[in-house]
């Protein structure tokens, strides 16, 4: 029988995930000849054999692919047979690879985990044990193609035993680039604050575990950087860690051995349980259980807690002797700054914070924070999309030209895009800090290098003072497009829902602050949105922010700004507000409001929620980003009585757009204070705000003939507000859109910018 021949090009996550040995095995199983080779941005397969075997091969390819492989496209064509007499794996080809997909870091698989706890295994108690189904990937990559010599594992030549496994197509470690063993791989050791080695190997992990139980604070090096750890079951070490980090209130994430242990202090069920236990191992925000048996200071004033399970061999071994232990595992960085990744850097920067250091000598090529997910309205919402997901691409519903979005200022990311794929970087942080902005520039260079996408168009925020904006203008010149912050949110939301290019939606952006096209500060916006333009059709009532950014840090200032003109000075003085400088600051704020000096206007939703938190005595001073609103939400969950607050919608006389009156909302809180518990009023604020926004959105969508209403922005992480808006929208007969693959906060801004730039939208009036 004459052999047929087919050439296949397969794109997706097909490097470093055991894809080529998988192809080798199923080709041989079906009696096919030919080859498979890695071309960087795709895998090429030549198959020769009878037609039935070729068809069966394709069936197995889709049904039995390796667990970490993700196929985005298969191109096939018939070609003349070349006369191969066997099936072989050819070496990777070097060169420039465009749209190459490097696999993300994933948790240690069950097979490798079993080996490190098996006394008969040569991997017994070796923390760097990996195979093609697990372990670090992206954090090891220096350049392409993704072969061992181009990763940080090039520093560790394979021993004969590992070499045998690495070159055997039938072995699960075949071409697993991080593969190693105690004879040839990285070493782990425990040191004191001066760098003196106290123990090596498993003994170092035993000592570290003992020190944690005794109350010490440790710096622990992982895949993408350092964590700072302490015993989460005891108040003393957690409070001491807060003192050293100068984080008095910011919640800490914790790590436990398994879901069974987590159930002793948090609710593990539904989508939250699925996220927690997935091979990506994100930090999952879970509701605290009624029998919360951790230190209260782990997440003070909040109803929930961030939890993750071990994803490295080191972390798994830390629980070997203490299976019921729970450890704080927080990124080793100052707020908004890059996470520490180098041993020397850790010893210097964490001096006075860590008592001991659990170190290893594998270089971290790409810094990568933990991903953070929260369940909102029954669905997973990314607060931070990073380890376990980056650099997997987001598939676009249309083609874009080669572009880059450089992000906003806070919670920044970078996105490069071309064709139907967008690659969003790991979490970067607050680029107003010099060291974080330097890291941002490094991420830009590295992402361009790894994807092979040279951007023709640059997208940045409208705010002229952002470091990211200046960077884009310098690099992109006349090919740089400035995109208003909340329009970037809308574009990201639409593409995240795979809406086609001609789509129109009624978009809601509920956020902190973003520079508006009219020169004021926006943050509670409604748009008629498309990919090619927008119209601002509604917003929250602009409120004065006395002292500018000080009103963000001291939400009591926002209370005075909102109620100024509604209440007299004596009434305002009686409010239970907190000012760091006491009555002197109160007088200063009143003078600013009376004169209009150093006062900016903002329609920010976040600032209204912050003001409500301050007014109800829930949070008077912000010590971390989002604190007042987060604590307001936690208080609202304690509500037991329904309270009605006014929902007043007016039309702006000058623009004709719909405006939600938030002054009347806060005035209603004032009038009912003392009559109801703060939890009831907190719930009422969120409920009324959601109701008012929903009313505007559904009314306008009906008027304009739109079928979809979507929500983006940092306030969308509030489960109560989002669920209420979603319910109201659906009850009114509209489809509700939320983010699916990218954060609804500022982590999606670079994505929206890259889309706008890649579509080459030029008219300034559009954005």
456-478 pLDDT tens trace: 999 999 999 999 999 999 999 99
pLDDT at position 175 is: 87
Tell me: pLDDT of 143 over 50: yes
Which CATH architecture is the domain 521-529+536-737 placed in? 2-Layer Sandwich (3.30)
What's the CA dihedral at 240, 330, 634, 734 to 10 degrees?
170
Instruction: Confirm if 682 and 632 have CB atoms less than 8 A apart.
Output: yes
How far apart, in whole angstroms, are the C-alpha atoms of residue 180 and residue 670? Answer: 65
Q: Which two tokens stand for residue 676?
A: 């109801």
What is the SS3 assignment for 192-238? CCCCCEEEEHHHHHHHHHHHHHHCCCEEEECCCCEEEEEECCCHHHH
- For residue 681, give Cα distances in angstroms to 96, 567, 609, 646: 59, 19, 12, 12
Q: Is 153 exposed, middle or buried (0-12, 13-18, 19+ CB in 10 A)?
A: buried
| Other CB atoms within 10 A of residue 41 CB | 21
- The pLDDT-based confidence of 96 (bands split at 50, 70, 90) is very low
pLDDT at position 732 is: 98
Percent of the chain with pLDDT over 90: 81
Instruction: Confirm if 307 and 276 have CB atoms less than 8 A apart.
Output: yes
Q: Is 398 exposed, middle or buried (0-12, 13-18, 19+ CB in 10 A)?
A: middle
| Other CB atoms within 10 A of residue 167 CB | 13
Instruction: Confirm if 649 and 696 have CB atoms less than 8 A apart.
Output: yes
Instruction: Confirm if 222 and 107 have CB atoms less than 8 A apart.
Output: no
The sheet with strand 394-405 has its strands ordered as: 415-424, 394-405, 457-461, 480-483
pLDDT at position 1 is: 56
pLDDT digits (tens, 9 = 90+) for 239-297: 999 999 999 999 999 999 999 999 999 999 999 999 999 999 999 999 999 989 999 99
Tell me: pLDDT of 382 over 50: yes
How far apart, in whole angstroms, are the C-alpha atoms of residue 247 and residue 262? Answer: 24
Q: Which two tokens stand for residue 747?
A: 């982590």
How far apart, in whole angstroms, are the C-alpha atoms of residue 256 and residue 281? Answer: 12
Cis peptide before 291 (omega within 30 of 0): no
- The pLDDT-based confidence of 766 (bands split at 50, 70, 90) is very low
Instruction: Confirm if 65 and 37 have CB atoms less than 8 A apart.
Output: no
Average pLDDT over residues 336-348: 93
Percent of the chain with pLDDT over 70: 97
CA quadruple 118, 123, 124, 125: dihedral positive or negative?
negative
Cis peptide before 391 (omega within 30 of 0): yes
pLDDT at position 73 is: 83
Catalytic residue check, 470: no
Tell me: pLDDT of 749 over 70: yes
pLDDT at position 693 is: 98
Cα of 467 vs its chain's centroid, Å: 21
Beta 372-376 vs 356-360: how paired, if at all? Answer: unpaired
Beta 504-515 vs 521-530: how paired, if at all? Answer: antiparallel
Average pLDDT over residues 400-420: 96
Q: Which two tokens stand for residue 623?
A: 């010590």
Q: Which two tokens stand for residue 593?
A: 């409001």
C-alpha count within 13 angstroms, C-beta hemisphere, residue 53: 18
- The pLDDT-based confidence of 95 (bands split at 50, 70, 90) is low
pLDDT at position 223 is: 93
Average pLDDT over residues 603-619: 97
pLDDT digits (tens, 9 = 90+) for 693-731: 999 999 999 999 999 999 999 999 999 999 999 999 999
Q: Which two tokens stand for residue 4?
A: 């047929």
- The pLDDT-based confidence of 765 (bands split at 50, 70, 90) is very low
Q: Which two tokens stand for residue 538?
A: 């509604």
Catalytic residue check, 479: no
pLDDT digits (tens, 9 = 90+) for 45-68: 998 988 888 888 888 888 888 888
- For residue 348, give Cα distances in angstroms to 110, 188, 324, 600: 36, 19, 32, 41
Please choose, from the candidates 759, 748, 764, 707, the residue with its C-alpha nearest in 3D space to the C-alpha of residue 532: 759
| Other CB atoms within 10 A of residue 330 CB | 23
Rg of the chain's alpha carbons, rounded to an integer? 27
Selected catalytic residue, list 38, 304, 333, 467 = 38
Average pLDDT over residues 511-515: 93
Cα of 660 vs its chain's centroid, Å: 31
How far apart, in whole angstroms, are the C-alpha atoms of residue 326 and residue 303? Answer: 18
Average pLDDT over residues 481-485: 96
| Other CB atoms within 10 A of residue 118 CB | 12
Cα of 286 vs its chain's centroid, Å: 16
pLDDT at position 3 is: 79
CATH number listed for the domain at residues 4-89: 3.30.70.100
How far apart, in whole angstroms, are the C-alpha atoms of residue 443 and residue 426? Answer: 8
Least confident of 11-15, 271-275, 589-593, 668-672: 11-15
Q: Is 633 exposed, middle or buried (0-12, 13-18, 19+ CB in 10 A)?
A: buried
pLDDT at position 40 is: 65
Which CATH architecture is the domain 393-497+744-758 placed in? 2-Layer Sandwich (3.30)
Please name the residue that has the structure tokens 């933990």. Answer: 370
Instruction: Confirm if 310 and 277 have CB atoms less than 8 A apart.
Output: no
Instruction: Confirm if 287 and 306 have CB atoms less than 8 A apart.
Output: no
Instruction: Confirm if 669 and 685 have CB atoms less than 8 A apart.
Output: yes
Which CATH architecture is the domain 188-373 placed in? Alpha-Beta Complex (3.90)
Burial call 246-264: b when 16+ CB within 10 Å, e when fewer: ebebbbbbbbbbeeebbbe
Please name the residue that has the structure tokens 């984080």. Answer: 247
Least confident of 51-55, 225-229, 265-269, 752-756: 51-55
Instruction: Confirm if 461 and 485 have CB atoms less than 8 A apart.
Output: yes
Does 4-89 match 188-373 in CATH topology? no
Instruction: Confirm if 503 and 710 have CB atoms less than 8 A apart.
Output: no
Compute the residue count for the chain.
767
Instruction: Confirm if 13 and 61 have CB atoms less than 8 A apart.
Output: no
Average pLDDT over residues 131-151: 90
Residues ≥6 apart with Cβ < 8 Å to 41: 11, 97, 98, 99, 100, 101, 452
- The pLDDT-based confidence of 396 (bands split at 50, 70, 90) is very high
Q: Is 478 exposed, middle or buried (0-12, 13-18, 19+ CB in 10 A)?
A: exposed
Segment holding 616, helix H or strand E = none
Residues ≥6 apart with Cβ < 8 Å to 674: none
Q: Is 672 exposed, middle or buried (0-12, 13-18, 19+ CB in 10 A)?
A: middle
Instruction: Confirm if 491 and 499 have CB atoms less than 8 A apart.
Output: no
Residue spans per domain, the chain: 4-89, 188-373, 393-497+744-758, 521-529+536-737
pLDDT at position 639 is: 94
Beta 218-221 vs 379-384: how paired, if at all? Answer: unpaired
Please name the residue that has the structure tokens 């170190």. Answer: 359
Selected catalytic residue, list 6, 20, 173, 387 = 20
């Amino acid at each position: 029988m004459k052999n047929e021949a087919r050439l296949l090009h397969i794109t997706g996550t097909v490097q470093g995930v055991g894809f080529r040995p998988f192809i080798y095995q199923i080709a041989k199983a079906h009696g096919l000849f030919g080859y498979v080779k890695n071309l960087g941005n795709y895998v090429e397969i030549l198959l020769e054999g009878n037609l039935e075997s070729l068809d069966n091969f394709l069936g197995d390819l889709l049904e039995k692919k390796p667990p970490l492989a993700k196929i985005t496209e298969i191109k096939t064509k018939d070609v003349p047979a070349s006369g191969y007499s066997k099936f072989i794996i050819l070496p990777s080809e070097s060169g420039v690879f465009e749209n190459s997909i490097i696999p993300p870091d994933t948790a240690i698989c069950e097979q490798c985990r079993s080996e490190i706890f098996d006394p008969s295994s040569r991997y017994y108690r070796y923390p760097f044990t990996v195979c093609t189904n697990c372990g670090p990937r992206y954090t090891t990559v220096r350049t392409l193609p993704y072969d061992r010599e181009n990763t940080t594992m090039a520093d560790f030549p394979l021993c004969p035993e590992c070499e045998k496994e690495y070159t055997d197509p039938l072995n699960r470690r075949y071409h697993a680039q991080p593969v190693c063993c105690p004879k040839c791989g990285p070493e782990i050791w425990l040191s004191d604050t001066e760098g003196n080695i106290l123990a090596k190997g498993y003994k170092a992990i035993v000592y570290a575990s003992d020190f944690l139980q005794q109350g010490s604070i440790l710096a622990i090096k992982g895949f993408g950087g350092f964590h700072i750890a302490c015993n989460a079951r005891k108040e003393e070490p957690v409070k001491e860690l807060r003192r050293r980090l100068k984080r008095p209130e910011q919640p800490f994430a914790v790590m436990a051995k398994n879901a069974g242990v987590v159930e002793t202090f948090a609710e593990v069920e539904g989508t939250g349980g699925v996220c927690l236990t997935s091979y990506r191992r994100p930090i999952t925000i879970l509701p605290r259980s009624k029998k919360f048996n951790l230190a209260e200071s782990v997440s003070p004033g909040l109803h929930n807690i961030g939890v993750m399970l071990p994803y490295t061999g080191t972390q798994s071994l830390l629980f070997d002797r203490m299976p019921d232990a729970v450890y704080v595992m927080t990124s080793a960085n100052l707020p908004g700054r890059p996470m520490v990744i180098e041993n020397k850097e850790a010893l210097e920067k964490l001096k006075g914070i860590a008592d001991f250091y659990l170190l290893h000598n594998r270089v971290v090529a790409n810094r990568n924070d933990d991903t953070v997910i929260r369940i909102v309205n029954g669905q997973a919402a990314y607060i931070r999309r990073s380890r376990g997901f980056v650099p997997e691409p987001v598939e676009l519903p249309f083609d874009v030209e080669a572009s880059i979005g450089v992000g906003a200022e806070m919670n920044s990311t970078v996105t490069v895009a071309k064709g139907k794929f967008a690659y969003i970087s790991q979490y970067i942080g607050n680029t107003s800090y010099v060291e974080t902005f330097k890291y941002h520039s490094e991420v830009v260079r590295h992402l361009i290098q790894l994807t092979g996408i040279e951007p023709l168009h640059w997208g940045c925020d409208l705010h002229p003072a952002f470091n990211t904006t200046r960077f884009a203008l310098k690099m992109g010149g006349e090919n740089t497009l400035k995109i208003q912050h909340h329009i970037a949110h809308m574009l990201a939301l639409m593409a995240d829902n795979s809406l086609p290019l001609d789509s129109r939606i009624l978009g809601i952006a509920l956020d902190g602050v973003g520079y508006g096209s009219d020169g004021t500060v926006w943050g509670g916006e409604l748009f008629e949105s498309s990919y090619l333009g927008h119209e601002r059709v509604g917003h929250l009532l602009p409120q004065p922010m006395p002292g500018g950014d000080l009103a963000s840090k001291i939400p009591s200032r926002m209370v005075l700004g909102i109620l100024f003109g509604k209440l007299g000075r004596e009434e305002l003085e009686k409010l239970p507000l907190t000012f760091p400088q006491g009555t002197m600051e109160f007088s200063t704020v009143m003078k600013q409001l009376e004169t209009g000096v150093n006062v900016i206007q903002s329609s920010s939703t976040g600032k209204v929620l912050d003001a409500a938190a301050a007014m109800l005595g829930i949070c008077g001073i912000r010590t971390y980003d989002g604190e007042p609103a987060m604590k307001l939400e936690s208080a609202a969950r304690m509500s037991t009585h329904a309270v009605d607050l006014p929902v007043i919608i007016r039309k702006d006389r000058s623009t004709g757009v719909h405006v939600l009156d938030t002054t009347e909302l806060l005035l209603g809180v004032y009038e009912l204070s003392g009559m109801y518990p703060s939890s009831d009023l907190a719930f009422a604020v969120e409920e009324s705000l959601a109701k008012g926004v929903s009313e505007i959105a559904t009314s306008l969508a009906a008027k304009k003939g739109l079928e979809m209403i979507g929500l983006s922005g940092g306030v969308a992480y509030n489960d109560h507000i989002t669920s209420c808006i979603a319910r109201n929208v659906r009850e009114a007969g509209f489809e509700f859109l939320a983010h699916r693959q990218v954060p609804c906060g500022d982590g999606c801004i670079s994505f929206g910018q890259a889309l706008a730039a890649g579509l080459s939208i030029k008219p300034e009036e559009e954005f």
